[in-house]
């Protein structure tokens, strides 16, 4: 499994995600442009002293990333009407793709992915009626939830 961040903007989120990737021994892919430098003190602080445990790969754009994963399933995560996380069956080689904190994943990238997955939020803001609620989860929280569910399915199937 791999985690990929499309053009992340907030160094603290990326640092937290890197720490989660280190804990689960999952590579972290970053698709440029980034909203920060990899030397950023907030990025380093959020990742604590776990950076040596992170396999970090950078791609100059989505096309380079896409070309490097010809045999892998790309799973886009969005609040936009995807298959609910609890209903999706993960495979060991899946690549979990998350969008920018401010705008998510563009439709053209979602369209290239194999599946679109959403994390159920009971108090999601209704865009049609503008009923108040939560617009979205924090990027690092969403990654943590998805990583845990995928890891649980792959490594603890049938109660093992």
Q: Hey, which residues does 4 pair with through a beta bridge?
A: 29, 97
User: Rounded CA gap, 155 and 92, in Å?
Assistant: 9
Q: Are 30 and 64 in contact (CB under 8 A)?
A: no
Length of the chain: 160
Does pLDDT of 100 surpass 80? Answer: yes
Q: For the chain, which domains are there?
A: 2-159 (3.40.1280.10)
Does pLDDT of 78 surpass 80? Answer: yes
Of 92, 95, 139, 93, the closest CA to residue 119 belongs to: 139
User: Rounded CA gap, 132 and 85, in Å?
Assistant: 23
Strands, sheet with 28-31, edge to edge from the N-terminal-most edge strand: 56-59, 28-31, 2-6, 95-98, 74-77, 115-118, 83-84
pLDDT in tens, 1-49: 999 999 999 988 999 999 999 999 999 999 999 988 887 676 677 666 7
Q: What is the pLDDT of residue 46?
A: 63
Q: What is the pLDDT of residue 157?
A: 67
pTM for the model stands at: 0.88
User: Rounded CA gap, 21 and 15, in Å?
Assistant: 10
Q: What is the pLDDT of residue 49?
A: 75
Phi (first) and psi of residue 26, to 5 degrees: -120, 130
SS3 145: helix
pLDDT in tens, 129-150: 566 666 667 899 999 999 999 9
Q: Hey, which residues does 56 pair with through a beta bridge?
A: 28
């Amino acid at each position: 499994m791999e985690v990929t961040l499309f053009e992340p903007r907030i160094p603290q989120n990326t640092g937290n995600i890197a720490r989660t990737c280190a804990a689960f021994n999952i590579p972290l892919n970053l698709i440029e442009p980034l909203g920060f430098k990899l030397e950023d003190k907030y990025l380093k602080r959020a990742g604590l002293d776990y950076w040596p445990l992170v396999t970090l790969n950078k791609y100059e754009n989505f096309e380079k990333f896409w070309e490097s994963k010809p045999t892998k399933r790309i799973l886009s995560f969005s609040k936009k009407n995807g298959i609910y996380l609890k209903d999706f069956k993960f495979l060991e080689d899946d690549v979990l793709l998350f969008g920018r904190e401010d705008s998510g994943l563009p439709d053209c990238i979602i369209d290239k992915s194999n599946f679109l997955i959403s994390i159920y939020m009971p108090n999601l803001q209704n865009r049609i009626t503008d009923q108040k609620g939560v617009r979205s989860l924090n990027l690092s929280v969403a990654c943590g939830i998805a990583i845990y569910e995928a890891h649980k399915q792959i490594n603890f199937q049938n109660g093992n």
